[in-house]
């Protein structure tokens, strides 16, 4: 079964400096029918104006991934980490027992566009942690490349939950697939372009909850960027 969450159905926040689209309930946007999917709790598509961002604020008991599509995201946290996340990089922050961080657009002239992803951890009270890795475009072209996993295999970042996250860049007409083990589910999020998922059309911003399917077949209609979550 494939249940599509269309881009225009998402919650919206427009603050001038921030334009955000929420696939699931978040902040002031509450939708009891969309509180997450399995361990996946948040997918926010954020656009931040030049020089703006989120001042220091706390988090706890959440695995937080940032996936930048355009521009740069400047991160600083209470563990002493400071970095700029660029397209092709994945940042994992384990909030665990408590962490404070800030996120700002790294540019004074260009907007930043990224996906903020929250995953429920396998248990509460983990030690806070941070990781950032680059996944060059050539590794993601024409395939679904593993970028996050519970064991950090194949050079992926490590998340403290039974979730595999794959990222792909597909040219028009290209196809990529993923087999799902029995009992697994998937969430497909189209970041850019347009593609079909097992014959169902999806456009940029669309998400799809997949249950009871043995495999996923993604065929790009346009140049596309896609994230696929393989979930327990």
Q: Is 71 helix (H, G, I), strand (E, B) or coil?
A: coil
Structural domain range at position 60: 10-135
The answer to whether residues 108 and 14 belong to one domain is yes
Sign, Cα dihedral of 198, 201, 204, 208? negative
For 86, the token pair is 């660029």
Other CB atoms within a 10 A radius of the CB of residue 29 amount to: 16
Segment 89-121, tens digit of pLDDT: 999 999 999 999 999 999 999 999 999 999 999
pLDDT of residue 92: 98
Is the residue at 4 inside a domain? no
Give 195: exposed, middle or buried? Use CB within 10 Å, 0-12, 13-18, 19+. buried
The answer to whether residues 57 and 125 belong to one domain is yes
Segment 134-148, tens digit of pLDDT: 999 999 999 999 999
pLDDT of residue 78: 97
The answer to whether residues 118 and 168 belong to one domain is no
Mean pLDDT of the chain: 98
Tell me how many degrees the CA angle 22-68-184 measures, rounded to the nearest 5: 60
Is the residue at 176 inside a domain? yes
The answer to whether residues 214 and 117 belong to one domain is no
Segment 162-210, tens digit of pLDDT: 999 999 999 999 999 999 999 999 999 999 999 999 999 999 999 999 9
Look up the CATH number of the domain holding residue 86: 2.60.120.10
Question: Cβ neighbours of residue 33 under 8 Å, at least 6 residues apart?
Answer: none
DSSP state of 171: -
pLDDT of residue 188: 98
The residue from 114, 135, 156 where one domain ends is: 135
pLDDT of residue 227: 98
The span from the CA of 79 to the CA of 91, in Å, is 14
pLDDT of residue 48: 98
The answer to whether residues 216 and 182 belong to one domain is yes
Task: Identify which of 186, 167, 145 has the alpha carbon closest to the alpha carbon of residue 225.
Answer: 167
The answer to whether residues 151 and 117 belong to one domain is no
Task: Identify which of 157, 170, 180, 178 has the alpha carbon closest to the alpha carbon of residue 202.
Answer: 170
Segment 20-79, tens digit of pLDDT: 999 999 999 999 999 999 999 999 999 999 999 999 999 999 999 999 999 999 999 999
How many domains is the chain built from?
Answer: 2
pLDDT of residue 100: 98
Q: What are phi and psi of 124, to 5 degrees?
A: -85, 160
Is the residue at 115 inside a domain? yes
Residues 76-84 have a mean pLDDT of 97
Question: Cβ neighbours of residue 128 under 8 Å, at least 6 residues apart?
Answer: 78, 79, 93, 94, 95, 96, 97, 98, 99
pLDDT of residue 157: 98
Sign, Cα dihedral of 196, 197, 202, 204? negative
């Amino acid at each position: 079964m494939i249940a599509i969450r269309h881009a225009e159905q998402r919650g919206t926040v427009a603050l001038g400096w921030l334009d955000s689209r929420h696939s699931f309930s978040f902040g002031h946007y509450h939708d009891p029918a969309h509180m997450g999917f399995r361990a996946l709790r948040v997918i926010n598509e954020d656009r931040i104006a030049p020089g703006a961002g989120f001042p220091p604020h706390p988090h706890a008991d959440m695995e937080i991934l940032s996936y930048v599509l355009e521009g740069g995201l400047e991160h600083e946290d209470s563990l002493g980490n400071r970095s700029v996340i660029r397209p092709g990089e994945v940042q994992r922050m384990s909030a665990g027992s408590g962490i404070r961080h800030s996120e700002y657009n790294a540019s004074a002239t260009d907007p930043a566009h990224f996906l903020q992803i929250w995953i429920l951890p396998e248990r509460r009270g983990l030690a806070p942690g941070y990781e950032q890795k680059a996944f060059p475009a050539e590794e993601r072209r024409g395939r679904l490349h593993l970028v996050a996993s519970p064991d950090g295999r194949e050079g992926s970042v490590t998340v403290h939950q039974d979730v595999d996250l794959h990222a792909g860049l597909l040219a028009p007409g290209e196809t990529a697939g993923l087999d799902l083990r029995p009992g697994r589910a998937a969430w497909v999020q189209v970041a850019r372009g347009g593609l079909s998922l097992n014959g169902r059309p999806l456009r940029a911003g669309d998400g799809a909850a997949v249950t009871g399917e043995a495999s996923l077949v993604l065929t790009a209609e346009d140049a596309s960027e896609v994230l696929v979550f393989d979930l327990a």
